[in-house]
Amino acid sequence: MKRISRFINTKPLTIRMSVFYSLLVIGVLIMVVAFLYGYFVAEIVDRTTSYTGQILFQAQKTVENNLNNVDQLSRLILSNQQVQDYLSDAKRKEEFDQRQQEKEIEKICVDFMVVRQDITSIGIYTLDGYYVSADNFYYLGERFEEVFDKALEAQGRMKWFFKADGKNSVIAARTIYDINIQPIGMLVITYNRGAFEGLFQNNLRGTAGDYFILDEDGTIISTNHSDLMNAQFEPQLPKTSEDNFISADVYGTPCKVMIFGSEYNNWTYLCAIPQESLSPGIPTILAYSMLILLIFCTVSVIIAVFIAKGITKPINQLTSALQSIDIQDLHFEQYSGTDEFSYLFKSYNEMLNKIRQLIHDNYEQKILQNEIQIKMLNMQINPHFLYNTLDSICCLAMENQDWKIAKAVKALADMMRYNLSGSGGEATVASEISHSENYLAIQKIRLGDSLEYYIDIDDSLLSQEIPKMSIQPFLENCIQHCTSKMQGGKLLIEVLGYRKDRDYLL
């Protein structure tokens, strides 16, 4: 650093000023460009994630609305009287032609499937595993007991689950109850998983994210990556997040992951956005930022050199005139400008007229004058600035609920206001007592329980005039001389005021 300092100090003032102003402006420009670059990058990332999150949320709501519609459809089947009669053992035994009754049930299933193209099959199971359905029904077989147990656990609600078996079906099962709320059968609906893909592709078109629908066990039900279908999602992520997206490596790719949990069927909806696709315009922004920075830096250096030369030119002129050590060799200098340097040259020329005969007297007078100016400036400090500053500190302490500091600062402000107020030498007993109470309050904060004080002044004395600062100096003297001798004890101060005949006593 010393070598650099010596090197800089040996250079002409023009070069030093040019370098200084150039570095100053370039530094400011770099900070501004860096701030704007960071701001725009963060804004792009934030808007991208926010936009994708909104789209994913809408896609989730669309999917769940479809599932809710299926839920409502299932209620119509459960409440159908023919379904109730068929599942009732007593009703079934009374029927002469059971096959005719099954055909009616099959027709009901077909009619409902026509309404919903995303439903691949509807079937009704009896408690013993026998089923009636339309064509292409997803037969549960050995899984009947497993599905029926899960439907019973749902207690009448629709139970959605996914099995990655040969048919990769999304199954909705619901227990059918009779009028006595006893289970008499089960409704099984298989849902077309391809409907999820259509809904998500329509909603997420134009985004860079990959979507995933996971069941409650973390198995991928639907995704735009066919090779990941039916697999366990990696890594394991929470089903919900406070800010709806987290950073994670999804199958080896750093991503921002949007997470929306479903309260309807415990599914999880994810959208993984690769980090590199969050800000596709960042390289362009960086290039433009560097170009703008280069242009402004070049212009700044040129302007800095121009300004430095304009400042140093008259200085160099005066320097040349003052190079002579002998005062007699000094000569007048002419300056044609009208800026601040014109005053400098004028002062220089006036100085030459007086310098030979007044140099010593003028030197001493200047010193004395500077001292007087400093004292006058010190005396001109507005006491209200001090009051307002203390009041501001008091308010700040009150906002932070630091009542001790607030009380101490308030008492100190009142004391200073009292000391600096007015120019007379008299005050009332009431104002003196108030001033003394402020002083004691400050000392109480410092000494705590070691100090106790009691003030009892007759009301008739409060308006009586006494010399200003008559009481507080006694209190200060008492505290200063007694606290060092207490040795763990307490100091009790009593201030009493009363009339006696025509006099009053304090």
Q: Is 252 left (phi over 0), alpha (psi -120 to 50) or beta?
A: left
pLDDT tens digits, residue range 99-111? Answer: 777 788 788 888 7
How would residue 497 be classed by pLDDT, with cut points 50, 70 and 90? Answer: very high
* Separation CA 435–CA 419 (nearest Å): 9
For residues 140-151, one letter each, b for 16 or more C-beta atoms within 10 angstroms of the residue's C-beta and e for the rest, the string is beeebeebbeeb
* Separation CA 86–CA 103 (nearest Å): 11
Is residue 242 scored above 60 in pLDDT?
A: no
pLDDT tens digits, residue range 320-360? Answer: 666 654 555 555 555 566 555 565 666 666 676 666 566 65
φ and ψ at residue 417, rounded to 5 degrees: -60, -40
* Separation CA 52–CA 102 (nearest Å): 49
Q: What is the pLDDT of residue 455?
A: 92
Q: What is the pLDDT of residue 142?
A: 77
What H or E segment, with its residue span, contains residue 494? Answer: strand 491-500
Weakest mean pLDDT among 76-85, 392-401, 468-477? 392-401
Q: Is 427 left (phi over 0), alpha (psi -120 to 50) or beta?
A: beta
Distance (Å) of CA 157 to CA 265, 270, 309, 318: 10, 25, 87, 98
**What percentage of the chain reaches a pLDDT higher than 90?**
3
Weakest mean pLDDT among 56-60, 260-264, 334-338, 463-467? 334-338
pLDDT tens digits, residue range 436-472? Answer: 888 888 888 888 888 899 999 998 888 888 888 888 8
Task: Read off the pLDDT of each residue in 7-15 and give the average, rounded to a whole number.
Answer: 62
Is residue 424 scored above 70 in pLDDT?
A: no
Q: What is the pLDDT of residue 13?
A: 62
Contact indicator for 292, 300 with CB cutoff of 8 Å: no
Is residue 494 scored above 90 in pLDDT?
A: yes
Q: Which of 209, 201, 223 is nearest to 273 (CA)?
A: 209
Is residue 399 scored above 50 in pLDDT?
A: yes
Q: How far apart are the first and last CA of the chain?
A: 69
Q: What is the pLDDT of residue 495?
A: 93
Q: What is the pLDDT of residue 210?
A: 80
Helix (H, G, I), strand (E, B) or coil at 247: strand
Neighbouring C-alpha atoms within 13 Å toward the C-beta of 408: 12
How would residue 374 be classed by pLDDT, with cut points 50, 70 and 90? Answer: low
Residues ≥6 apart with Cβ < 8 Å to 383: 416, 417, 420
Contact indicator for 87, 105 with CB cutoff of 8 Å: no
Helix (H, G, I), strand (E, B) or coil at 467: strand
Mean pLDDT of the chain: 75
Q: What is the pLDDT of residue 34?
A: 79
φ and ψ at residue 155, rounded to 5 degrees: 55, 55
Task: Read off the pLDDT of each residue in 426-437 and give the average, rounded to a whole number.
Answer: 88
Helix (H, G, I), strand (E, B) or coil at 249: strand
Quickly list H helices, 224-339: 282-321
How would residue 377 be classed by pLDDT, with cut points 50, 70 and 90? Answer: low
Q: What is the pLDDT of residue 357?
A: 61
Q: What is the pLDDT of residue 325?
A: 47
Is residue 496 scored above 90 in pLDDT?
A: yes
pLDDT tens digits, residue range 162-172? Answer: 765 555 678 88
**207: exposed, middle or buried (Cβ count in 10 Å: 0-12, 13-18, 19+):** middle
Task: Read off the pLDDT of each residue in 3-23 and give the average, rounded to a whole number.
Answer: 66
pLDDT tens digits, residue range 267-316? Answer: 888 888 887 776 666 677 777 777 887 887 787 777 777 777 766 666 66
Is residue 423 scored above 80 in pLDDT?
A: no
Kindly report the length of the chain.
506
Distance (Å) of CA 179 to CA 26, 85, 89, 176: 84, 11, 14, 10
Task: Read off the pLDDT of each residue in 382-389 and give the average, rounded to a whole number.
Answer: 65
Six token digits for residue 394 = 């008091």
Is residue 148 scored above 80 in pLDDT?
A: yes
* Separation CA 461–CA 325 (nearest Å): 76
How would residue 90 be classed by pLDDT, with cut points 50, 70 and 90? Answer: very low
Contact indicator for 394, 406 with CB cutoff of 8 Å: yes
* Separation CA 247–CA 195 (nearest Å): 29
Rg of the chain taking only CA atoms, in angstroms: 46
pTM as predicted: 0.48
Task: Read off the pLDDT of each residue in 231-256 and give the average, rounded to a whole number.
Answer: 76
Look at 123 and 341; give whichever has higher pLDDT.
123
One-letter identity of residue 431: S
